[in-house]
Amino acid sequence: MHTGGEPLRVVLSGYPEVPGDTLLAKRRHVRDRLDRLRTALMLEPRGHRDMYGALLVPSELPEADLAVLFMHNDGYSTMCGHAVVALGRLAVDYGLVKREPRAPETPVNIHCPCGLVRAFVQYSESDGKTGEVRFHSVPAFAFATDVSVTVEGFGEVVVDISYGGAFYAFVGAKTFGLDVMHSKTRDLVDAATAVTKAVKAQVQLHHPTSEDLAFLYGTILTDDNDAYSSEPTANVCVFAEAQVDRSPTGSGVTARIALQYHKGLIGLNQTRTFQSGATGSLFTGKAIQETTCGDFKAVVVEVAGRAFYTGVSHFVQEKDDELTDGFLLK
């Protein structure tokens, strides 16, 4: 599947059973014991450095319709908005929800490593077709603002750090003499990667509920248009091992709205449009509710987008020169 141009390989069958009492424990298990399968599915020759994946597993939460482990070119993330949009549609189309689909929307509770994310899938009873998907995030919050870090090749750079199911550093692209819509992708990647390395080395992150969530996922370069406007605002997310998100980045939109709300630049239920600097694709987002996460003031953010199917593949994993069970991927 893909959402806003960002790919998603959904593993439907053939994967070994993943033990663990919690989803975070399952995430640790696949990271420590089954990582060869991630590299086989995500990297060349079966994938590429910007491939993204989702492994469906059982959830310990009774209200969850499904649970998911996200994977990418460097490991396993804790939240992925473009994947949630795709999985919401997949869950309704494949009958994975615990209730009959209903119009105008069918709710789908998706258990992500960061927590329970509630998705709502457009559904037509007349033809059974699904459409746009919106989701409500876990509590999102600004972790730190105006943080000065020393970035190799650029000197002192001031960044904001915000959480939307994963932690991101935010900085305007013009800081590096770049434009998220027009600069070369290589230049954007180099600048964002340098910021990520600097923040990881110089800033200690923590999350109120689990240290499994306390890591910097990537850097998002923005167009600096953070004050509320009806016009789209653009960004490019570079995450994991210099991986470029081709969508506007669902968890990044969540974190950016939390940051804008924290700074008083956007109010509750003010919808903004976010544009991918990589492809021009669009998500919408808005803060819908104030909440807390530990000692942090937080918001619940609603993000909306559309996902599409790209086909079904059967992959065969080779081990010790023998063929073993394959993976069915959507």
CA neighbor of 256 nearest in space, from 140, 174, 100: 140
1: its two tokens: 């599947």
- HSE-CB of 175 using CA atoms within 13 angstroms: 23
| Residue indicated by tokens 């091992």 | 241
Catalytic residue among 80, 112, 114, 237: 80
Q: What are phi and psi of 75, to 5 degrees?
A: 155, -135
9: its two tokens: 């390989």
3-state secondary structure of 122: strand
Contact between 85 and 99 under an 8 Å Cβ cutoff? The reply is no
Does 80 participate in catalysis according to the annotation? yes
| Residue indicated by tokens 């909306």 | 304
DSSP state, 34? Answer: S
The Cα–Cα gap between 3 and 274 comes to 14
Residues annotated as catalytic (active site), given as ranges: 80
